[in-house]
Amino acid sequence: MIVCLTETPYKDICMLHKAILPCLLYFTSLLVIAEPSVLVIQKSVKPKSFDYKINAVHKEIAVSADNLASVKLAILDGMLNTKGYKWLFEGEGQGYILARFDYRGDTNIMRIEYNKSLVQLKYHSAWGDYVCKKLVDDICYKNSRGYYNYIKNLRKSIVAKLNFL
């Protein structure tokens, strides 16, 4: 706890600490390291879309890369070369890229997690028709047909770019 007395010569420093501390706490919470994993569809989750739709979107992609930079570049290139509407770079962190898709007022943001051996697309957030109706461990088990179609196209594009590594 920070206690500041108005009569101290350190008043300005104390005020600075009051402003910085909440910011530091916020940004350290964002430093979560993303790690792709092998998809295991939970059969007990209800409601749920068909397994083939969930696999088409969230199934891990095997990669054999020498460095993370080449994997990241392949993902970004895949975002730009997706069939139909392009995906926009929304942000990044340690081991992930946020990709945004906007269509007719609806927005979908996917977190593309990667390392030297796997890449996986996970649900991050959405507005409008793409809001996940059943989310478990960042895997969307129930959503609209459009969600699965657009994410499937992004995944296919990323797979095509990763095949060149």
What domains does the chain contain, in order, with CATH numbers?
A: 1-31 (no CATH), 51-162 (3.30.310)
Q: Give the SS3 label for residue 17.
A: helix
52-101: pLDDT as tens digits: 999 999 999 999 888 999 999 999 999 999 988 889 999 999 999 999 99
Backbone angles phi, psi at 10, to 5 degrees: -100, 20
The more confident residue out of 14 and 122 is 122
Average pLDDT on 99-114 reads: 94
pLDDT tens track for 119-143: 999 999 999 999 999 999 999 999 9
Concatenated DSSP letters for 110-144?
EEEEE-SSEEEEEEEEEEGGG--SEEETTEEEE--
Q: Which has the higher per-residue pLDDT, 25 or 30?
A: 30
**H-state helical runs in 6-144:** 11-29, 51-58, 68-80
Predicted confidence (pLDDT) at residue 23 exceeds the cutoff of 70: no
| Closest of 162, 163, 157, 164 to residue 78, by C-alpha | 157
Looking at per-residue pLDDT, the higher value among 31 and 91 belongs to 91
Annotate 53-79 with b (16+ C-beta within 10 A) or e (fewer).
Answer: bbebbbebbebebeeeeebbebbbebb
